[in-house]
Amino acid sequence: MEMNNVKKPLIWTQAYPYGTKEGDEEAKFFRALARHAKFEYRSVGALVKDSGLTRERVEEIIDKYVNNFNPPLVYAHPDNEDHWGYWERCPDRLQSDKRNISQKDQDKRINKHLGDGAAHQTIDNVDDKTQSN
């Protein structure tokens, strides 16, 4: 898959809180999620079993890495809501930026002028802009 126009997420070792109890739990989660190359997605039950964490803690970690990172590190399976994948195992889930170069340039200039708050808004609305053209 060509990923030239895709902003890659962080690698989990760059994102988790290293050296803390929370970080130790998140490391167990990511090791269970990304351990086997043959598994693109893992069920919450399998993550609980392999990591030794509670179901609630696994769901908290999933929520953190889906909603607090842009782009997310963890993606839901397209058909099975109980299965989750680490972005390096399911790179097809990364969305490419389909704006033409002039639109990207214009958005970059607007974001620079308005500051970081607008950058997230423009990035989130990429699909809306490309569909209206």
Q: What are the residue boundaries of the structural domains of the chain, listed by start?
A: 12-93, 101-132
- Residue 121 scores a pLDDT above 60: no
What is the value of pTM for the model shown?
Answer: 0.62
Q: What are the residue ranges of helices labelled H in the chain?
A: 12-15, 21-34, 44-51, 55-67, 101-114, 116-124, 126-132
* Confidence tier at 126 by pLDDT (50, 70, 90): very low
67 compared with 97, residue with greater pLDDT? 67
Which fold is adopted by the domain 12-93?
A: Arc Repressor Mutant, subunit A (1.10.10)
pLDDT in tens, 92-102: 776 644 455 66
Distances (CA, A) of 24 to 4, 9, 102: 33, 21, 44
pLDDT in tens, 11-31: 777 777 788 888 889 999 988
Q: How confident is the model at residue 105 (pLDDT cuts 50, 70, 90)?
A: low
Q: Is the pLDDT of residue 111 over 50?
A: yes
